[in-house]
Amino acid sequence: MSLHLHRNIFGNPSNAGNVLSKAETDKLFTSWVLNPRLQLHMKQVAQLMKCWAAEKEMLDEVDQWRWEMAGLLHDADWDQWPDQHCKKIIEELESRNIDPEIIRAIASHGPLHFGVEPETKMDKMLYAFDELSGLVHAYALMRPNNYVGMDLKGVKKRLKEKSFAANVSREDIDDACKRADESLDDIITFIIPRQAAVK
């Protein structure tokens, strides 16, 4: 099954800055995503996107929400329509005249799967956080104290064990860090405390 999108232009430039409200996003999120584990993953990635926008990109609250919204909705169609993954949420957001940068970030969050190159920093960080967030959370679940006391060294040890969270692509992680021009260590160190706060 190919999830290749076979296109490279998303949304309409005249919709720049258009977002869903928090309530509208929550409504879409809860009606499309029924699996609590996937919901948590999407909330974790959303929190990381928001924090990165605020702390590293120094963006204002309006832009922080654009980053957060991309994180909250990036896997919205995976639960109920896996064979239309990415395509369905993209078309939904296009039909609602949403900012093309948000739609593009979602479309490029798996370049090896969807065939869309991450271009902006928002695109690149969504791709990087997507896989690394999953690995860090899998590690938290196997630790007696969850995120408490977790450090970079422990995460990297798990990353080297191919059998640990084997569905998390090490190839995607390497590719994402290179594209984002951020070190693996810095991204993991950023993730641990911020992801720990998401319930």
List residues near Fe ion by CB under 5 A. 75, 130
Let me know: does 159 contact 169? Beta carbons within 8 Å.
no
Structure tokens at 176: 């994402």
Buried b (16+ CB within 10 A) or exposed e, 150-159: beeeebeebb
Let me know: does 38 contact 79? Beta carbons within 8 Å.
yes
Let me know: does 197 contact 47? Beta carbons within 8 Å.
yes
- Measured from the CB of residue 71, what is the shortest distance to Fe ion in angstroms? 9
106 vs 184, which CB is nearer to Fe ion? 106
135 vs 150, which CB is nearer to Fe ion? 135
- Measured from the CB of residue 45, what is the shortest distance to Fe ion in angstroms? 6
75 vs 172, which CB is nearer to Fe ion? 75
- Measured from the CB of residue 82, what is the shortest distance to Fe ion in angstroms? 12
- Measured from the CB of residue 169, what is the shortest distance to Fe ion in angstroms? 12
> At 44, is the secondary structure helix, strand, or coil?
helix
DSSP letter at 15 equals G
> At 182, is the secondary structure helix, strand, or coil?
coil
15 vs 173, which CB is nearer to Fe ion? 173
- Measured from the CB of residue 42, what is the shortest distance to Fe ion in angstroms? 7
Closest CA to 25 of 12, 43, 48, 13: 43
73 vs 98, which CB is nearer to Fe ion? 73
